[in-house]
Amino acid sequence: MSGEETFLIVGAGLAGAKLAEELRARDFPGRILLIGAEEHLPYERPPLSKDYFAGRKQLADFTVHDGDWYRDHRVELLLGTKVTAIDPAAHTVTLPDGSTLHYDKLALATGSTPRTVPIPGADAERVYVMRTIEDSDALLTAIQGETDHAGWLAVIGAGWIGMEIAANARDRGAGVVVAETAKQPLSGALGEEMGAVFADLHRAHGVDLRTNTSVREIVAYDGRASGIRFGDDSVVPADAVLVAVGARPNIELARDAGLAVDDGVLVDASLRTSDPDIVAVGDIASAEHPLLGTRVRVEHWANALNQPAVAAATMLGREATYDRLPYFFTDQYDLGMEYVGLAPRDARVVTRGDVPGRQFLAFWLDDEQRVRAGMNVNIWDAGDDLRALIASGRPVDVGRLTDTTVPLSDVAP
């Protein structure tokens, strides 16, 4: 491989930084250019709603590499810059000033953008989303103010970010109201039965959690958010409003370049797009999964961390397959949870352990009694067994599965 080759990485988050790292670890000798829209060095995003918002970590603690690392590994950074177009035929990307950069191989790690709500007041001051370090800082300032007395926060959406922010805001002394259209929080990921566990948790900690409801308006006074109005016309005052209704993958560059897309950028199990010289990783990658037998696109930290090893190998012309099971985690109050796998929407949920005491395992079973996903709540030695159950594809004996005296390795009939 010639040292003159140029590999461009568009997107300077965790996935982009890890891809640069993996390329050097595999002895790529050419030029690596990492292009990102933010001014910061690449950093991880989960702490923005977790430890950073809670005050337990600083930005340096979750910055992927310091500046010296990029210099020492000859990774060029072009920060504060957004690529505006890709020309696969010419092997170039276009920058905002109209200049172009040539690539031999290109990686797309463009991440996602928080969704907004199409209601009056959504553009008022003190209405926030959560994606960048600045978002986290601004929301914290809004609810803390300039005194030691925390104010009120209204959260629209009871997904992972909304519920993590709610928990950490309560821990900081803020009052919190959460509005969710579904019957339970987190039901899109966990279903209603497990969502109820989190509903009970938050209500026990003083969150005014309102499910099966809608928000008609973000009430504003002098252009600044002052509360939310529900569908029944009731109003709850608030010093700040967080809109946490999910995110959309940033696939515009790929789509406009003619790459195959659906709800993400279509890639095979090696993370190669429909163009053989372009790979995609992280939030945008809709990947063929060899174990699950379907396409998977997951907007979670684990993909951004682990996919770059496979993408780097693919860019270097080596065989590689991404077959890790989807994984995510959360910490809310005294509840720590890890989830692995991908549950069908009609999956049956069974549990093992103390659900009211929030120390249990949950399993999502398909019609053939195979474990398709698993969750450990405040039990930290079960992760490997859960992965093995899912990967085996074997039916289980549900009675043995739910019996805490039976090892998980012995639950098959």
92-94 and 100-102 strand pairing: antiparallel
Please indicate, yes or no, if residue 68 is contained in any of the structural domains: yes
Whether 268 and 194 map to the same domain: the answer is no
pLDDT at 345: 84
CATH number assigned to the domain comprising residue 370: 3.30.390.30
88-126 pLDDT, tens digit per residue, is 999 999 999 999 999 999 999 999 999 999 999 999 999
170-204 pLDDT, tens digit per residue, is 999 999 999 999 999 999 999 999 999 999 999 99
Please indicate, yes or no, if residue 291 is contained in any of the structural domains: yes
Please indicate, yes or no, if residue 280 is contained in any of the structural domains: yes
358-410 pLDDT, tens digit per residue, is 999 999 999 999 999 999 999 999 999 999 999 999 999 999 999 999 999 99
The pTM for the full model equals 0.94
299, 112 contact by CB (below 8 A) = yes
204-245 pLDDT, tens digit per residue, is 999 999 999 999 999 999 999 999 999 999 999 999 999 999
Please indicate, yes or no, if residue 328 is contained in any of the structural domains: no
pLDDT at 145: 64
pLDDT at 242: 98
Whether 254 and 107 map to the same domain: the answer is yes
44, 70 contact by CB (below 8 A) = no
The share of the chain scoring above pLDDT 90, in percent, equals 94
Whether 119 and 241 map to the same domain: the answer is yes
| Structural domain count, the chain | 3
Please indicate, yes or no, if residue 325 is contained in any of the structural domains: no
pLDDT at 1: 41
pLDDT at 293: 87
CATH number assigned to the domain comprising residue 48: 3.50.50.60
Whether 162 and 101 map to the same domain: the answer is no
* pLDDT band with cut points at 50, 70 and 90 for residue 151: confident
Alpha carbons 108 and 11: distance in angstroms, whole number = 7
Whether 340 and 404 map to the same domain: the answer is yes
Please indicate, yes or no, if residue 1 is contained in any of the structural domains: no
Domain range for 276 is 6-111+250-316
Mean pLDDT of the chain: 95
pLDDT at 148: 57
Please indicate, yes or no, if residue 190 is contained in any of the structural domains: yes
Q: Of 246, 265, 286, which residue sits at a domain end? A: 246
Integer angstrom CA distances of residue 182 from 154, 226, 236, 335, 364: 17, 24, 19, 22, 20
Whether 35 and 62 map to the same domain: the answer is yes
251-309 pLDDT, tens digit per residue, is 999 999 999 999 999 999 999 999 999 999 999 999 999 988 899 999 999 999 999 99
Whether 143 and 57 map to the same domain: the answer is no
pLDDT at 344: 86
Is pLDDT at 147 greater than 80 in this prediction?
no
Please indicate, yes or no, if residue 329 is contained in any of the structural domains: no
Whether 16 and 37 map to the same domain: the answer is yes
* pLDDT band with cut points at 50, 70 and 90 for residue 149: low
Whether 69 and 174 map to the same domain: the answer is no
Q: Of 192, 217, 246, which residue sits at a domain end? A: 246
Whether 305 and 158 map to the same domain: the answer is no
Whether 20 and 78 map to the same domain: the answer is yes
Whether 124 and 217 map to the same domain: the answer is yes
Q: Of 189, 212, 246, which residue sits at a domain end? A: 246
